[in-house]
Every structure is written in C-alpha cells, then in structure tokens.
Amino acid sequence: MRSIPKTVIIMTTYNGEKFIEKQLNSLKNQTYKNFEVAILDDCSTDNTVSIIEAFIKRNQLSNWYLTINPKNLGWKKNFIEGSKNNLKDFVFFCDQDDIWIENRIEKMIDEMVNNNNINVLVTNYKIIDSNDEVTKVHKYFKKDLSIERIKFNGKNLNVQRPGCSYCVRGNFLEKILGYWQEDYAHDSLVWKSALVTQSLYIYNYYSLLYRRHDNNASGSNLSNNKIIALSKSEINHLKLLIGYVLENSSDKSDQIIEKIQKAINFHEMRYEAYQKRSISRIIMCGLKFFSYFPSWKYIITDTKRIMNK
C-alpha cells in the first residue's frame, strides 16, 4: 500500500490584510486535506497577523503554523528560509493574495506521485484584479490537461510561470537550496534548476487565480540601476547553475553548459549596455541574443529605457 506523501504549503505574508482571508479560505477548502501550512509573516504592520491567528483558531487548524520573523527579511529570503525549515515530500509556494482552485493540490500531487521524472510541476493561471475579476487569460496557455516537459532553450531560461503555480519535490528542493544567493528569487532558482536537469514539467490546467493589483511589484517600474543589479545577480546565479550541472552530470551536460554560458554572455552584454547607456550595444545584444529575450517587445523596452533615463 502506497504511503500518503507529506505535503506543505509555504506562504509568506507582509501587510496583506486586504486579500489574505480569501487565500486562506481557498487553502482550507482544498479537496486534498493531508497537508500542513507554514505561514511566515515578515513583520507586517497592519492586521495581517491577527487575521491569520483568528482564522486558524476559528477553524481549529492544528496543522497550520504561523511564524513571525524577528526582523524583515524581504519576500525572496522569506521564501528561502521557509523552505529550509519546512521541507516535506512535496512543497507548494503560496502568495498571500491569490485564490487557489479547490482541486489544485489533489490534481498536482496525483501527477507528481505517478511520475518520478517530475521534480517541479507548474500550471497555468488566470489573472484577477482587486475585485476578483478575471482581467487576462494568456492566449498561448493550453487548457487540455496535458502534461509536457519544458525543453531547455534560451527563452525557457526566463521564468515562464510564477512560483505560486509550483509543486516541488522536497528532496530536489533540499538539494538546490545550497545554490541560492542573497536577493535571488526562489521561483527563478527552482525553475532553472529543474529546467537544466530535464525535470521541469507543465500541467496545462488553470489551478489558481493570480492577483495583480497596485501593490504588486512590476517590472515596468524598475529603474535602470535596479535592472543593472538584477542582471549582475542573474550572471552570478547562472555561474552557480553551471556548478550544479557539473555536480549532477548527465550525457547532455556539455550541451547544457554551453547554452548556460551563452545566457551569461547575453546578460553580460545587456548589463554593459545599461551601464554605458549604449543604444547600439542593446540593439546588438538583441540581434545576437534574440533567442534569450522573452520576446521582441523586451528589446524595444530596453532601448526606450536606455534612451529615456
């Protein structure tokens, strides 16, 4: 008889009083019940903590745990610390303001249990606003319930799904946490590590409502200095990723490392273009490394940013 896998949802919170209860309810109402919820509050100054405490008490949720950080860590480190301290067979990352479809955990765990090749399973999502209205459904998202391995190429090195759509095998997550560097996003670490080990799969199913509102961080609002810092961080992580590939070698390691090195060259050229505010350099980067940009629109955006700032 197959044992029931241990599962944990890792939720990070910070000043989320407006939407937190809807998310908590969507977790409580899951059809799959054998999971823990580890909530890590990052020193909220609103009513987030009291809402969570009241919800846990009112619903008698003995397997839900709230930890309040002694100091603010920032959302990136908060997810990483939460992962280190709450590893189970399967790990779900959870934002404070989304809404999960009620069979999300059940469907994803069922697929993970039946396919040991999958270390990370991601899904599709619909974007909602602050009024819970669906504002966008990506046209290229499939909805046929198929499961596909995401192939390793330049474009797919860019994270294609947010961390809140992931289910991660715990022993895989434990292994890659050692490659995390300060101020690097957890979903980028997980996505890229699974991609280069050919264990990243997508379940073509809408498993959650992903909220975008005024308080969300947006790439369109990034300053040039922030983009330079992010590029530097990406270069450093890609170098660590080569080390990870070498330590987990396969018959395709040389090809994978070659592609990662091209990605490093791409980010170094983009980094240089922003540092020097060189329009010709960013255009050259677009021509030489087009396959590493998510789309041609990003090249135009980079050009405009360098021209205007």
Q: What is the pLDDT of residues 103-119, one digit of tens each?
A: 999 999 999 999 999 99
* Residues of the chain scoring pLDDT < 70: 1-2, 214-221, 249, 309
Question: Residue 272 has what pLDDT?
Answer: 95
In the 3-class helix/strand/coil scheme, how is 160-191 assigned residue by residue? CCCHHHEEEEHHHHHHHHHHCCCCCCHHHHHH
How far is residue 94's CA from residue 165's CA, in Å, rounded to a whole number?
Answer: 8
List, by residue range, all CATH 3.90.550.10 domains of the chain: 7-211
Question: Residue 85 has what pLDDT?
Answer: 94
> Are the C-beta atoms of residues 244 and 196 closer than 8 Å to each other?
yes
Of 127, 130, 134, 101, the closest CA to residue 26 belongs to 101
Query: Euclidean distance between the first and final Cα of the chain, in Å?
Result: 63
Considering the segment(s) 7-211 as one domain, its CATH architecture is Alpha-Beta Complex (3.90)
Of 85, 33, 40, 43, the closest CA to residue 63 belongs to 33
Question: Residue 10 has what pLDDT?
Answer: 98
Question: Residue 70 has what pLDDT?
Answer: 97
Question: Residue 3 has what pLDDT?
Answer: 78
Question: Residue 216 has what pLDDT?
Answer: 56
Q: What is the pLDDT of residues 7-54, one digit of tens each?
A: 999 999 999 999 999 999 999 999 999 999 999 999 999 999 999 999
Q: Of all helices (H) and strands (E), which one includes residue 10?
A: strand 7-13
